[in-house]
Chains A and B, each alone.
Chain A
Amino acid sequence: MAHSGINVLFEGRNLIRLFGGLWTTVEIAGVALILGLLLGIVLGVLRTFPNRLLRLVLRLYLEFFRITPTVVLLFLFYYILPRQLGVNLPANQMAMLAFALWTSAEMSDIVRGALISVPKHQRESGMAIGLNRWQLYRYVLIPQAVSLELPATVNLVTRVIKTTSVLMLISVMDVINVGQQVVEANNQKFPTGVFWVYGMIFVMYFAIDYPLSWWAKRLDKKRLERANG
Chain B
Amino acid sequence: MAKQIIKVEHLEKYYQKDHILHDINFSIDQGEVVALLGPSGSGKSTLIRCLNGLEAYQKGTITFNGKQVEPTEKYWQQVRQKIGMVFQSYDLFPNLTVLDNILLGPVKVQHQSPKVAQASAEKLLDQVGLRDYEKAYPRQLSGGQKQRIAIVRALALKPELMLFDEVTASLDPEMVRGVLNIISKLAQDANMTMIVVTHEMNFAQQIADRVLFLEDGRILEQTKGDQFFKQPQTDRARAFLESMAF
Contacts and interface: CB of A to CB of B under 8 A. Distances in A.
A121 to B, nearest CB: 5
A126 B80 CA distance: 10
Contact of B80 (A129, A135, A140, A144): A129
Contacts of A129: 80-81, 104-105, 109, 153-154, 157
B77 A128 contact: no
A135 B109 contact: yes
A137 to B, nearest CB: 12
Given A121-B91, A122-B91, A139-B93, A128 B108 contact: no
Nearest to B85: A128
Contacts of A125: 85, 87, 91-93, 150
B147 interface: no
Contact of A130 (B54, B93, B109): B109
B94 A144 contact: yes
B95 A131 contact: no
Contact of A131 (B83, B85, B91, B104): B104
Interface string A114-144: 0000010110111111111101000110011
A51 to B, nearest CB: 14
A125 B93 CA distance: 9
B154 A128 contact: yes
Q: Is the interface of A mostly helix, strand, loop or mixed?
A: helix
B118 interface: no
Interface residues of A, number: 19
A76 B13 CA distance: 53
B85 A126 contact: no
Interface residues of B, number: 28
A127 B81 CA distance: 9
A121 B91 CA distance: 6
Interface string A98-128: 0000000000000000000001011011111
Contacts of B77: 127, 130-132
Contacts of A144: 93-95
B97 to A, nearest CB: 12
Contacts of B110: 130
Nearest to A133: B73
B89 A139 contact: no
A143 B108 CA distance: 16
A121 B49 CA distance: 12
B109 A124 contact: no
A7 B169 CA distance: 75
Contacts of B168: none
B87 A121 contact: yes
Contacts of A121: 87, 89, 91
B198 interface: no
A111 B150 CA distance: 28
A131 B108 contact: yes
Given A130-B80, A130-B81, A140-B93, A124 B87 contact: yes
B92 to A, nearest CB: 8
Nearest to A226: B139
Contact of A126 (B83, B93, B150): B93
Interface in A174-217: none
Contacts of A140: 93, 95
Interface in B113-146: none
B193 interface: no
Contact of B95 (A127, A133, A143): A143
B15 to A, nearest CB: 15
A121 B53 CA distance: 14
A114 to B, nearest CB: 13
Given A121-B87, A124-B54, A124-B87, A130 B94 contact: no
A139 B97 CA distance: 12
The 3 closest A-B pairs by CB, nearest first: A129-B105, A125-B91, A130-B81
Given A119-B89, A132-B77, 8 more contacts: A121-B91, A125-B87, A127-B53, A128-B85, A129-B109, A130-B105, A135-B108, A139-B108
